[in-house]
Structure 1
Amino acid sequence: MFKNWYVLYVKPKNEKKVAETLSKAKLEVYCPTIQETKIWSDRKKTVEVPLFKSYIFVRLSEKERQIVFNFPGVIKYLFWLGKPAIVKDDEIETIREWLLSNDVSEYSVTTLTPGDRVYLKNSMLGGKEAIVKEVGKTRVRLILEDFGVVLNMKIKQIA
């Protein structure tokens, strides 16, 4: 049975909880997280937060897609160009590799503007299939086309 990675839109601030619940139900789920430093007037704390706010990835067959609505916190699937957004396996793997590397120090995500056409110029991901919008001395902008987002990364050092 062929399975795809789908993008689920979940209740805000419920990404990790929904991912854990789906995982306990033996579903393959991925909620990429990053370490973020929160600063209050009296203290500083490093916390783990989702990379994509209100989104998680779930790997299912087309027939299994409706099962996720049995779990609290799941709102809907993300659609792109009228179809459920499907993320390629290598894009999921690329996100995992970035997060495991120590070269990325700052992230932000913005929506993709339809019609933007870019190509891979240069990156720390040499040999990986990726679509990059811009590479500066300390920044890389990668487009995850099937997901419909632009991922901006501040790089500590480009080799």
Structure 2
Amino acid sequence: MNWYVVYTKPKWEKKVADKLQQLGIECYCPLITQIKQWSDRKKKVEVPLFNSYVFVQIPDSERNSVFQVAGIVRYLFWLGKPAVVKDEEINTIKTNLKSPNISDVAVLPFQVGDKIKLDSGAFSNQNAIVQEVSNNYYTLVLETLGCVLKIKYK
């Protein structure tokens, strides 16, 4: 069975994961502990590692059954197909979050000037520099090929 990514309403990740488990659907919502400070106190709070994402492991034929749960908006798609996450990647997330050395984790978007290596698509294994970040695309400079690449991500 494949792991898929469902997109949830903002701040509904834990509720959606609980409801999916009640329906017998295997899901995973990676949580991290953060210290939140209010004007009168500090408190440790578990927050999702990925905002608005929950991973579900479900047979392809039963994918639509997740929409019984309130708070699920849609599946995350990649190249026109539902995004599939490998078991190894889920296990890596689980293993790394259990590590006692992790004190603070954040998932941040690319910033202008970041050097990245493309891991899929026609330009796989190419090094690139992020030149521009917009609301729905990145502009990358592929120095070895001498070209600029504009990638839409939403």
TM normalised by structure 2 equals 0.70
C-alpha deviation, 1:118, in angstroms = 6.1
In the other structure, the counterpart of 2:57 is 59
C-alpha deviation, 1:92, in angstroms = 0.3
Q: Which runs of 4+ in 1 moved over 4 A?
A: none
In the alignment, which of 4, 7, 10 is matched to residue 6 of structure 1?
4
Structure 2: where are the runs of 5+ without partners? 120-126, 128-152
- Looking at structure 2, the residues matched to 8 and 52 of structure 1 have their Cα atoms a distance apart, in angstroms, of 11
Structure 1: where are the runs of 5+ without partners? 120-132, 134-148, 150-159
- Looking at structure 2, the residues matched to 82 and 12 of structure 1 have their Cα atoms a distance apart, in angstroms, of 23
The aligned length equals 117
1:25-83 CA-partner distances (Å, limit 9, x unpaired): 11100001000100112110001111111000000111011111111011000011221
**Residue correspondence of structure 1 range 65-144 to structure 2 within 5 A:** 65-111=63-109, 116-117=116-117
C-alpha deviation, 1:110, in angstroms = 3.1
- Structure number with greater Rg is 2
In the other structure, the counterpart of 2:122 is none
The alignment partner of 1:8 has SS state of: strand
Q: CA RMSD in A?
A: 2.1
C-alpha deviation, 1:111, in angstroms = 4.3
TM normalised by structure 1 equals 0.68
Cα 1:111–1:61 change in 2 (3 A) is farther
- Looking at structure 1, the residues matched to 80 and 86 of structure 2 have their Cα atoms a distance apart, in angstroms, of 17
Sequence identity (%): 52
